[in-house]
Each structure stands twice: as structure tokens, then as C-alpha cells.
Amino acid sequence: MRTELQSAIVGEIQKITEKDSGHLLEIQSLEILPDDHRFLTVLDYLERIMKERDDYANGILEMAQNNRSDLDEYENVSNGTTTSSSSTNGDCPTTTTIINGNGKMYKEVQYVTRSPSPSTQERHGNIEVAELKAQVRRLRYDMEHKEECISICQEELQSRDEEIAKLKSERQKLISDAYAAKDLAEENEHLQEQILGLRKLEVENEQLKSKISQLSFYKNMSSRFEHDNKILQESLQMAEDQLQEKNKRLEAASEIEHKLHDSHKPGDMFELKEELAAAERKAEEKVSEIKKLTVELENAQEAKTRAETRLSTIRTEQESLTQTLHETRRQLSAVQSDLTARKEDEMLQKRVRDLEQTVTSKDESVLTLEEEKKRIETQLEKTKQKQKESRHELDALKDEYANLETALSASERSKKTLEAERNTLKARVESLEDKCDQLNVKLVNYENLEKRYANNEILLIEKSNKIADLEAENRTTKQQNELEMKKAQRLREDLVSEKCRIGDLLSRLRTVCNAIRSNGGKLSNAEDLMNDDEKLIDIIDEVIMQALNAARREADALRLQQQLQIAELDDLKKDIESLRRAEGELNESDDKVKELVMENKNIKEQVTLLQERLRKLQVEDSAKASELQAVKRDMEEIHNKNTNNSRHSPEIAKLQVQLRNAQLQEELHREDNIELRKQIENAMKVKVEYEKK
């Protein structure tokens, strides 16, 4: 090996091994925290360079050894001498110390042909030349190293440009996501408004349902009123029939009284008068009952008209409510479409989260790039101090680094804006998620409530229908029972009264026959007639006809008297008018006027007395006529009832059995009504609790 190379290598080794030399870095200076990504990347880069340097040095050593072995073989072949001869010819062994890439030193023995010893100047020149050559090699090595750094920086710049483009695209995506989030927020506000409208519609729906329940209640009330109206009409007809019967009886009684007026028996007359008075009282009671029933009928009709008007209004409200229900259903379908939009929002939120993760990873890469940038700046400053020749290249690199700094600052600004937008998006997304969850929960609750409410309404409608049917059946059974009870009581009373009347009439007839016989009547065969009822009745009819004729004569006489009295009253009225006219003419004579006034008062009193007498006579005439008609009818009814008495007894037994069955049915219906009322109360409690919830 040449001395120049040897000297250059020795100089380089001395520079490396010297403590004060700046070619080596201390490992302690590279001790850093493991969290600092920039310094870790720089260390990795340095380790890679050192490995490459060691590989390069090992390759050079291997090439040198191969060259030496080739030279040795060539010298051995050319000289054809051994190692001893070489020593005699002036060959001397040389030892060289070599440091490998790992810092280990080893010795190498080389045999070099001894040359003639040069002069000191030549040696000094050779050393300077070797040093210059070593400096040139160093500079070349540094230039190659810088070129590699520049290529690496260019690659990093390209990668950063690509990352910046990606960040810009991601920023655009985030901006579009932000606009989408704004749109979602607006849609959320719109949904909230729709939800408020739905709540209002729910309140209106509840009000309408309450109105519908009121409508059903009024319908039931109207049906009840109609039913009561029918019952009242039936009772009115019954009362009118009874009135007609009583009037007939009074007429018969008046006829009998006229017939028996000739008998002049005070006891019989007194009894007949008592019977007539009782019949009149009963007739007055019936009339009062009829008036009450008419008043109740009018009230029921008024209530029915009110209920019908209310029903019409409620039906119109129900139609409007059905329209509102259709609108609410349409709005619910819109809300369901909004829910699908919410699901899309959730997908967007997931994308935002992924973007956030990518942003964090890119932030880490930016940090590493900044660390590398600082390290490269330090390296560039060192290269500026060492090399003045590469200033132009370094200026270009500075310009590129300035551009990188501007790009990094812009990326940092965009990162800050993206972080701010990300935070706002996070807050909005969280609020939207909460609102979506609340809306979902409310929708589920609303659907459950609607289902429960519909079920409760169906149950209430069924129970109300059952109650209405049972109440109607109960009323019909009650009415039937009451009618049957009334019929049975009437039949019993009629039987008792008929028996009494028959006995009274028979006793009266016998007394009449005795009276006729005692008074010298036409009853020749009295004892035979008492035994034969038909002959007795025929004779009594003849006597009654005679009495009626006498009563008619008396009535005609009374009518003549009445006409005479009316004529007298007309004369008195004319006299009074003439006196009044005379009063206006005779104002001067006070005494005469007073006398005339007194006479006028007396005349008026007489007129009033006469009018009262006339009224009494008319009343007595009408009473006697009604009594006679009632007596006739009683006689006819006696014959009919005697024949029907035998028929009524099995009917009465049947009616009693039916009454007992009806009473049992009433008790069963009452128990059913009690149970249904309990069920209704429970249902109402459940409904109240449901409305409170």
C-alpha cells in the first residue's frame, strides 16, 4: 500500500480517535424521552446512516485485502523468491491499525518493498498532498451525503405535499360534513317543531276523545229519555183510559142518583153521596197525575231536543277530529322518514369519528415532520459553517424549507380550524344523538300509550254497551214487573170492589124492592121476585126509568126557572145601566146619588147571589147526570164481571207466578249491575291514572 494512502488513513484515524475532535457525537447527547417522536425519527435516521457507513467501510477493507493478496501473489510469481530472500532484498514488514464501523481496532501486517528514503521536503509535500486528497475525499463524501439528504428531503417534501393534499381533501369533507350537520340541526329544529305540533295534537286528541265519551254519554241519555218518554206515553194512555172509565162510572152514579131520588131514603142518598165524593176525589187525583205526567213528558221532550242538538254539534266535532287524526297520521309518517334521516346522521357521526382518528394520526405525523425539520435545520447550519462552496445549494434548500414552513404553518392553521370545527361538530353530534334518543324514547312511549289507550277505549266501549244493554233489559223488566204488579193489584182491587159493589147493589136493590113493596108499588109477587134476579132487575129498570122521567121533568122545571132568572138578571142589568146614566145627570143631588149607589150595591149583591145559585144548580145537575150514568154502567159491569170472575182466577195465579219470576230476575239484574258498576269504577280509575301519566 502506498505511503500516501497509509498516511491519509492514519490521519483520519487520529482525527476520529481524538477526544476534542468534532467528528464524533456522544451517545449521552442523544438520550431523549421516548415520547419525543421527532428525536426518535432522527435517531433512527442516524443509526441507518451509521450502518450504511459500516457496510461501506467493510466493503473497502475487503477490497483492500483482495488487492493486497493479488499484489503478493504477483510479487511472489515475478521474483520467484521466498520470504527470506525478500527480507534480504530490503523488504520490511509494516503494521497498520484499522478501526471498523463498530469502533473495534485490529492490526494488519504488510510487507512493503523498501524504497529509498525521501528528503524532508518531499515527505512534507507528500503529507500535504495526502491531507488535501483526504480533504477532497471528505468533501466528496459530504457532498454525496448532502445529496442523499437533499433527495430524502425532496421525497419528504413530496410526501408532505401529498399529505397536505389529503388534509385539504379531508378538510373539504369535514366542511361538507359540517354543512350536513348544520342541515341536520335545522332538520332537528323542524322535527322539534313537528313534535310540539304532535303534542298539541295529542292534547286535542285527548280533548276530542273526552268529547266523544260525552257524546256517547249523551247518546245513552237520549236513548234513556226516549225510553222514558215511551213509558210516560204509555202511562198517559193508561191514565186517560182510567179517566174515561171513572167518567163513565160517575155518569152511571148520577143516573142512579136521579133514579133513586124518588125513594126519599136519606141513608141510601147519604151512601150514594159518599161514593160519589170518593169517585170525584179519585178522578181529581187522576187528573193531577195526568197533569204531572204531561209536565214530565214536556220536560223529557225538551231534554230530547237538547240532546239531539248536542249530538249534531258533537258529530260535527267528531268529523273535524277525524280529519285532525288523519293529519296526525300523515305527520307521524313524516316523522318516521325523519328517523331514517337520523340513522344517516349516525352513519355520518361514525365517519366523523373515523376522520378524527385520521386527523390525530396525521397530527402525529406532522409532529414528526416538525422534529425532522428542526434536525435538518441544525444539520444545515453545520454544513454552512463547514462548506462555503455549497452555499448556493443551501440557499435553494433554505428557500424550499421556507416554503415547507409556510406550508406547515398553513397546515397548522388548517389543523386548528379543523379541530375547532371538529369540536363544534362533536358537540352538535352529541346533542343530536341525545335528541334522537329522546325522540325515539318518546315515540316508543307514545306508541305504547296509543295502544293502551285504544285497548282501554275498546274495553270501555264494550263495557258501556254491556251496561246500556243490561240497563235497558233491567228497565224493560222493571216496567214489565211494574205493569204486571199494577195489573194484579188492579185486578185484586177490582175484584174486591166488584164484590163489595155487587153486595151493596144487591142490598140496595132489596131495600128498593122492599121500599117499593111497602109504598104500594107494583110488586105483587114480592117473594117470588126476590128469588128471581132477572125479574127483579127488570122491575128495577122500570122503576129507574120512571125516576129518570121524573128527574127530567124536574130538570125541565129548573131550566125554566133558570131562564126566568136570566131574564130578571137582564132586566136588572138594564136598570143598572139606566141608573148609571142617571148618575151622570144627577150629580147635583148627593143624597139621591148615595141612595142609588146603595141600591146599586144591593142589586149587585143580589146578582152575584143569583149567579152563585145558578152555578150550584148547574153543578148539581151535571153531578146527578154523571151519577146516573155511573150507576147504569155499574149495573152493566156487574153482569159482565159476574161472568168473568170465574175466568180471572187462573190468570191471577199466572200473574203471581210471573211476578215472583220477575222479582228473581230483578235481583239477578241488580247483582249484575253492581258488578258492572265496580268494573266501570275500576276502568275509570285506570283511565284517570293513565291520563295523569
pLDDT value at residue 90: 42
- Asked if residue 425 has pLDDT above 60, the reply is yes
| Together in a domain, 96 and 189 | no
| Together in a domain, 241 and 365 | yes
pLDDT tens-digit profile of 491-518? 777 777 777 777 776 676 666 666 656 6
pLDDT band per the 50, 70, 90 thresholds, residue 650: low
Has residue 82 been placed in a domain?
Answer: yes
| Together in a domain, 95 and 187 | no
| Together in a domain, 205 and 350 | yes
Mean pLDDT of all residues in 290-316: 66
Has residue 133 been placed in a domain?
Answer: no
pLDDT value at residue 75: 60
**Nine-digit cell string for 98:** 484499522
Q: Could you give the angle at the alpha carbon of 432 between the alpha carbons of 426 and 435, nearest 5°?
A: 145
Which residues does residue 111 pair with via DSSP β-bridges, in sequence order? 93
**Nine-digit cell string for 637:** 159491569
Q: Pick the closest to residue 362 from 318, 402, 322, 414 (CA basis).
A: 414
> How far is it, in rounded angstroms, from Cα 630 to Cα 6?
174
| Together in a domain, 271 and 364 | yes
Amino acid, res. 407:
A
- Name the percent of the chain in helix, strand, coil, to the closest 5: 90, 0, 10
Has residue 501 been placed in a domain?
Answer: no
- Asked if residue 383 has pLDDT above 60, the reply is no
> How far is it, in rounded angstroms, from Cα 30 to Cα 18?
20
CATH number at residue 200: 1.10.287
- Asked if residue 101 has pLDDT above 50, the reply is no
For the chain, what is the domain count?
2
Has residue 359 been placed in a domain?
Answer: yes
| Together in a domain, 173 and 258 | yes
| Together in a domain, 207 and 353 | yes
| Together in a domain, 61 and 202 | no
Q: Pick the closest to residue 377 from 400, 401, 399 (CA basis).
A: 401
**Residue 222: which domain range?**
159-437
pLDDT value at residue 104: 43
Task: Decide which of 117, 147, 178 is a domain's last residue.
Answer: 117
Q: Pick the closest to residue 164 from 352, 353, 172 (CA basis).
A: 172
> How far is it, in rounded angstroms, from Cα 576 to Cα 570?
10
**Nine-digit cell string for 129:** 498532498
Rounded to whole angstroms, what are the CA distances from 650 to 290, 491, 654, 662?
A: 32, 12, 6, 18
Task: Decide which of 407, 437, 467 is a domain's last residue.
Answer: 437
**Nine-digit cell string for 193:** 317543531
Mean pLDDT of all residues in 529-545: 63
> How far is it, in rounded angstroms, from Cα 149 to Cα 14?
27
| Together in a domain, 167 and 99 | no
Which residues does residue 221 pair with via DSSP β-bridges, in sequence order? none
Per-position DSSP letters for 599-651, written without gaps between them: HHHHHHHHHHHHHHHHHHHHHHHHHHHHHHHHHHHHHHHHHHHHHHHHHHHHH
Q: Pick the closest to residue 202 from 97, 111, 32, 335 (CA basis).
A: 335
Of 318 and 550, more confident: 550
Per-position DSSP letters for 484-525, written without gaps between them: HHHHHHHHHHHHHHHHHHHHHHHHHHHHHHHHHHHTT-S-SS
Has residue 36 been placed in a domain?
Answer: yes
| Together in a domain, 113 and 173 | no
Task: Decide which of 403, 437, 471 is a domain's last residue.
Answer: 437
- Asked if residue 172 has pLDDT above 60, the reply is yes
Q: Pick the closest to residue 481 from 311, 302, 669, 634 (CA basis).
A: 669
Where on the phi/psi map is residue 264: left (φ > 0), alpha (ψ -120 to 50), or beta?
left
The least confident of 142-146, 221-225, 393-397 is 393-397
- Asked if residue 186 has pLDDT above 70, the reply is yes
Q: For residue 81, give the 3-state DSSP assignment.
A: coil
